[in-house]
């Protein structure tokens, strides 16, 4: 049963909902989400967990439910393995259609603003990296980025 998808993606989303949603995560919420994430990881694990009186409380909290969750995960992967594969062409068509259907839901200005804040925070490192790369120098990407930064900051 593959475990890298849930451990690399879903656990990160569970523990860090602020990566996906515009929310503040309090320390209490963080502690609760850590328990949920640990339960999810234990449910997706292929190894058997031996629990005792010295086991962490977050593992003991849902210990009796883990076997049931493990069977759900196993069934999930078993069902996926039985599904027919789709072609790259079908996948591309599906993604194009989804992009068309949801294109108006994306706030481009907000995304550009977030990119600007990120670029501004790491401006020197990014500009240095653009100077070092031959392709970037050939296409004058440093100059183009500096122009974009100046436009966003209101300087000329």
- 13 domain residue, yes or no: yes
- 51 domain residue, yes or no: yes
Domain boundary among 27, 50, 85: 85
- 117 domain residue, yes or no: yes
Residues 81 and 115 in one domain: no
Boundaries of domain holding 55: 3-85
CA distances (Å), origin 61, targets 21, 55, 64: 27, 10, 8
- 94 domain residue, yes or no: no
pLDDT in tens, 44-95: 888 877 777 787 877 878 888 999 999 999 999 899 999 999 999 999 999 9
Closest CA to 48 of 63, 32, 28: 63
- 66 domain residue, yes or no: yes
pLDDT above 60: residue 2: no
Q: Report the domain count for the chain.
A: 2
Query: What are the residues whose beta carbons fall under 8 Å from the beta carbon of 60, sequence distance 6 or more?
Result: 51
Transcribe 8-35 into DSSP letters.
IIIHHHHH-GGGTSS----HHHHHHHHH
């Amino acid at each position: 049963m593959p475990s890298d998808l849930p451990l690399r993606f879903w656990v990160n989303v569970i523990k860090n909902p602020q990566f996906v949603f515009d929310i503040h995560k309090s320390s209490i919420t963080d502690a609760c989400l850590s328990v949920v994430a640990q339960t999810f990881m234990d449910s997706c694990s292929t190894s058997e967990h031996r629990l005792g009186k010295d086991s962490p409380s977050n593992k003991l909290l849902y210990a009796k439910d883990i076997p049931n969750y493990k069977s759900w995960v196993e069934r999930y992967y078993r069902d996926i393995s039985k599904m027919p594969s789709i072609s790259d062409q079908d996948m591309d068509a599906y993604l194009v259609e989804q992009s068309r259907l949801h294109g108006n839901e994306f706030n481009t200005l907000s995304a550009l603003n977030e990119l600007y804040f990120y670029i501004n925070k790491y401006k020197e490192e990014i500009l240095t990296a653009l100077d070092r790369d031959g392709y970037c120098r050939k296409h004058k990407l440093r100059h183009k980025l500096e122009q974009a930064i100046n436009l966003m900051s209101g300087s000329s």
